[in-house]
Structures are given as structure tokens and as C-alpha cells.
Amino acid sequence: MNTLLFRSRRWLAASGLLLLAGAAQADLMLFPTRIVFEGKQRAAQLELMNSGTKPETYRLHMVNRRMGPNGEFTAIETAGPGELFVDNMVVFSPHQVTIAPGSSQTIRLLLRKPADLAEGEYRSHLQLDRVADATGGSNVEQLAKPGTQDIGVVIQALVGASIPVIVRQGQTQAQVKLTQLALMPSGPGQPGGALSLTIERDGNRSVYGDIGVSFTTAAGVTLELAKAQGVAVYVPNASRSALLPLTLPGGAPLPAGVLRVVYRERAEAGGKLIADASLTLP
């Protein structure tokens, strides 16, 4: 999942589908939430579904983004060291869609790889921007009171989403370690405290999966304390920090035992173990 930004738009991820909703302005679901071209694959498609009650229009375009140390994204124009983009080799259609309530739209993507493409992983993001409704009740002139000089003001929450589009060329691989595990004290929004850790990545391939945190007491009882879905570390980032709020039964502090963190590929990708680590509590 997973892959989210907060600017003038809101980005929300949910269990394999990206569900977007802002001020009752839009209800858009996307599947899949990532496009990955590997081997001889040259075509892919993205399904957009409007679960709202009125037609919605979206404009699509490719953007390049850089992942920060905490998983945040910023838009960039120029590639930095190790950054490889796909915006000049992946084409898609259509570029703008209007989807009726309860209907869907297919976006088709086509990969056109240069013959001399160097080995490695390339990534850009397909961005969908909601087009503001300029008709009906959104028309400022119609909102002005008849016979007065009042000026109507319309504020619409524009909702958008972006998903990564990845091209893997040749042999790609990644090694991952979970390091710097530490328990953080409880605080606002984190009554059970939190676990901080660092995901260290090496190689020419990004990693993407789910993180689970469990605790086994000295008596052998195992409790599930946290889960984070769709956690990625993209090339060329060597690491990413994460903070996972813990849910403790009854709010009691953890007794002596072993805290275990497991990072796995998503279930639909096979659930293979990527990395794990443990923290012993005295």
C-alpha cells in the first residue's frame, strides 16, 4: 500500500485498493496500486472505479518523485545519483477520464524500452488529479444572492492519487536488514508507545511489503502488537525510518520477553520473508 502525500490533496491507502475521499467530493478506487514491468512484459492496465454518487473526471500524467528518509515523497524535475525514471518509456491512454457513478474505466499502459537500456530498476509515478466541477452548484455566479452585490466563494477539496510505475531491467536484487529497534514511550495518539526501527536496503531493486510486530512472553504467550501494510524502500534509498504504534492488551507495559519484527512481501506477491529482527526485553 503501500507508497502517500499530504499537500493540497489527500492520499489514503487501504488493503490493496486505494480509496480516496475528500469532503464528500470523490470516491475513487484503483487496482492495482503498483504497476511493475518485469521480464518480457510490455503491457499493463489500471482499473479506476467510481463508488460515489456523481460523475467524476480525472486527468492523468507521469511525475517523478523522490522518497525521503521517513518514506515521504517530493516531486523532482532532475534525477539525482542513482535515480532512474520511466516517464520517457511508458505511455498510457486515455489521459483524461470521466467515470459515471458505479462505473469503471481501464487505463492501458505500454512499455517501450530502448534497445540499450542499462540494467537496474526505473520508477516514476502515474498521478491522477481530480478535475474541479465548474457547473451547477459550483458556479460562483449562481451562488451570488439575487439583487445583491454578494460574492459567492466556492472551496472544493481536490482529491488525487499517484501509484508507482516500475520497470526492472536485467538482473535486479536487494538485501534488507531491520536495525536500530527501540521502544518509544507512550504519548498523544500512541497510548501503547511505539517501536522505532530502520529498514536498510542494498542492491539495485526496491522492496515492498508488510511489517508485523509480535511479542512473546517468558511463558511462551505470543501477542500481535502492530501491523503496517504496503511499506516500500525505493531505489536508490539505502534506508528508511519507521515508527509503529503498539497496541498493548489492557494498556499494561510489556513484561520480560522477546519483541519480533517481520517484514514480508505482500500476500498477493507470495508472502516471502524479506527480513526480520528481534529485541529482548529484560
Backbone angles phi, psi at 251, to 5 degrees: 75, 5
Task: Determine contact, residues 133/26, Cβ cutoff 8 Å.
Answer: no
The per-residue pLDDT for range 158-208, each reduced to its tens digit, is 567 899 999 999 999 999 999 999 998 877 766 678 999 999 999 999 999
Residues 182 and 213 in one domain: yes
Query: Which of 149, 169, 189 is at the close of a domain?
Result: 169
- Label residues 191-208 b or e (16+ Cβ within 10 Å = b): ebbbbebbbbbeebbbbb
Task: Determine contact, residues 71/201, Cβ cutoff 8 Å.
Answer: no
Residues belonging to the chain: 282
Counting the structural domains of the chain, the total is 2
| Omega before 185 within 30 of 0, i.e. cis | no
CA distances 86 to 36, 91, 92, 117, 234, Å, are 11, 9, 12, 11, 14
Residues 136 and 234 in one domain: no
In a domain, 67, yes or no: yes
Residues 231 and 99 in one domain: no
Which residues lie below 8 Å from residue 222, measured CB to CB, with a gap of 6+? 214, 215, 216
Task: Name the band, by pLDDT with cuts 50, 70 and 90, for residue 253.
Answer: confident
Residues 199 and 106 in one domain: no
Residues 37 and 155 in one domain: yes
The per-residue pLDDT for range 227-251, each reduced to its tens digit, is 999 999 999 999 999 999 998 877 6
Query: Whole-angstrom Cα distance, residue 185 to residue 242?
Result: 15
Query: Which of 135, 151, 169 is at the close of a domain?
Result: 169
Check residues 143 and 28 and name the one with the higher pLDDT.
28
**Which range of residues forms the domain containing residue 24?**
18-169
* Percent of the chain scoring above 70 in pLDDT: 79
Query: Which of 169, 184, 204 is at the close of a domain?
Result: 169
Could you give the dihedral angle defined by the CA atoms of residues 144, 145, 149 and 152, in that order, rounded to the nearest 10 degrees? -30
